[in-house]
Structure 1
Amino acid sequence: MSWVIFLECPTVELAARHRISLRVQKFWGYINLFWFGPLFLFLLRYAGGYRCRDREAVRAKLDGILKAHPNRPVLLCANHMTMIDSMLITRFLFPFPSLFTNFERFPWNIPELQNFGVNPLSRLMCYLGKCVYIERHGSVESRKLSWSKVTWLNHQGDFICVFPEGGRTRIGRVDRDAAVYGVGQLLQDNPKTLVICVYLRGLGQENFSFFPRYGEEFFLDVEVCECTVLPGRRGQKEITMQMFDSLENLEKKYFAARQ
């Protein structure tokens, strides 16, 4: 699925009914994981034939990062090449059995309502897959509500996955010119957040696409980005650019490995 990160909006206190709604959504996601998870794996492993180079090594690296930074909410900050990047990230980073005991590691995602909220099947998949919809061209109140939900989830300690490019790259590489800065505001709201940058790219992927090609093998790597949290809108931009620095560093590793 293709995810976007919201426009800059001031945080508002999340009403009790929305907090309850998110808890209920998480509960139903967990209860249905016994069938939803295998379906999730089947679609990626067999229908798509997708596999990840050095997956176990990257998982071990991530486990080491999480053990070194306990009790911190986690923001997965990733590059964006295809419409199903968030699904692939979840699949490759987290062993399926571990999600039964650490369901908070199944990251929340932020899909565009017009892309994934119209079809009833996609709505069900997004609901069980821990998604908070955003209306890119919606009202200010709608965007504030989405932002407040994600901020609240972050304070609850759940993992959240975002794409600071705002959409799939149009240049085939990490595109800091396409940056959106709401992700920086999330760090301002909760400086305790641990930012883990994730670089995922198919070895045959030259540019953006709807889906990766069938049978694609992926390069995956992660890196901690210890952001310096600065105030104000300029601070949001600076925080976001620090994330782009880490993503570009990971991208250099990818191209170096290809050579």
Structure 2
Amino acid sequence: MDARSRFWLQLQNVLGRLGLIFVAPFYFLIVRLMNYRIRNLRELRKQCASEFDSHRGPWIICANHLTMIDSFLLSYASFGFIRHFTHYKQIPWNLPERSNFQNNIFLAVLCYLSKCIPVDRGGSRERMKKTLDQCIYLLRHGHAVMIFPEGGRSRTGRVDKDNFSY
């Protein structure tokens, strides 16, 4: 990854950390307003904290995509409000499809501050390599990365091994 790309990624990380004082309360408020419920949330967060604390290195979190907001819900379920601030590096970077948010400036800024690296589905090999290089850079520097290998939403809850994107 070239120096320019590293600079922009590091800037995004710094701005995301600074913006967390606005973004985290907003996320937690949205969960309350939408009345989302996650069964055994406290126990789940304790278990996630234990797993993250037992392995200090980088994490690649792979999940099935069931909704457009899975990465948001997984981060909310895995990390309590305070842990978003105290363990910022563990909050995973996400790889959403660019077309899902690029047309709305509010969503674009929110995604930028929420550690998102946009992916162009069906984009060039060169662009995909650049995205993967960014992920490798982040992992080498101890950050977590969340990917949805299928590159789309699963209606069955199972990974489609024949048609994955990454």
TM tier relative to shorter chain: over 0.9
- For 1:179 and 1:58, locate their aligned partners in 2 and report how far apart those are by CA, in whole Å: 31
Deviation at 1:153, TM superposition (A): 0.9
3-state SS in 2 of match to 1:131: coil
Structure richer in helix, relative to its length? 2
Aligned mates of 2:47, 2:62 — CA distance in 1: 16
Aligned counterpart, 2:159: 175
Q: Aligned AA for 1:68? A: S
Q: Highest Rg: 1 or 2?
A: 1
Per the TM alignment, residue 117 of structure 1 is displaced from its structure 2 partner at its CA by 1.8
Determine whether 1:23 maps to 2:18: no
Q: CA deviation at 1:181?
A: 6.4
Unmatched segments (≥5 aa) in structure 2: none
CA contact (8 A) 1:165 1:178 kept: no
* Aligned equivalent of 1:94: 79
Question: Residues 181 and 119 of structure 1: is their aligned pair in 2 closer, same or farther, counting only changes over 3 Å?
Answer: closer
Equivalent position to 1:68, from 31, 50, 54: 54
Percent identity between the two aligned chains: 34
CA distance in 2, matches of 1:75, 1:95: 19
- Aligned AA (2:20): L
Secondary structure of the residue aligned to 1:176 is coil
Matched residue of 2:81: which SS? coil
How far did 1:142 drift?
Answer: 1.4
CA distance in 2, matches of 1:88, 1:173: 16
Aligned-pair CA distance for 1:151: 1.3
Question: Contact 2:58/2:144 (CA < 8 Å) preserved in 1?
Answer: yes
Structure 1: give runs of 5+ residues left out of the alignment: 1-13, 183-259
Q: After alignment, is 115-124 or 89-98 more displaced?
A: 115-124
TM-score, normalization: structure 1? 0.61
Contact 1:52 / 1:92 at 8 angstroms: preserved in 2?
yes
- How far apart are 1:167 and its partner, in Å? 1.0
The one-letter amino acid paired with 2:93 is W
Q: Please give the alpha-carbon distance, in whole angstroms, between the structure 2 residues aligned to 1:62 and 1:30.
A: 21
Rate the CA distance shift 1:155–1:15 in 2: closer, same or farther, 3 A.
same
| Cα shift at 1:180 | 2.2
What is the alpha-carbon distance in structure 2 between the residues aligned to residue 40 and residue 80 of structure 1? Answer: 19
Note the C-alpha offset of 1:73.
Answer: 0.4
- Give, in angstroms, the shift of residue 173 of structure 1: 2.3
1:103 corresponds in structure 2 to 88
Give the distance between the partners of 2:80 and 2:162, measured in 1 at CA. 32
More strand by share: 1
TM-aligned CA distance change 1:107 to 1:81, over 3 Å: same
SS at match of 1:144: helix
How much has 1:21 moved relative to structure 2?
A: 0.7
- In 1, the alpha carbon distance for the partners of 2:45 and 2:14 equals 26
The alignment's C-alpha RMSD in Å is 1.5
Structure 2 CA distance for aligned equivalents of residues 100 and 109 of structure 1? 17
SS state at 2:35 partner: coil
Q: Once superposed, which parts of structure 1, at least 4 consecutive aligned residues long, lie more than 4 Å away?
A: none
Pair 44,178 (structure 1): closer, same or farther in 2 beyond 3 Å: farther
Superposed, 1:188-227 pairs within 5 Å as: none
In the alignment, structure 1 residue 34 sits paired with structure 2 residue 21:
yes
User: Conserved in 1, the CA contact under 8 Å of 2:45 and 2:78?
Assistant: yes
Change (3 A) 1:140 1:181: closer
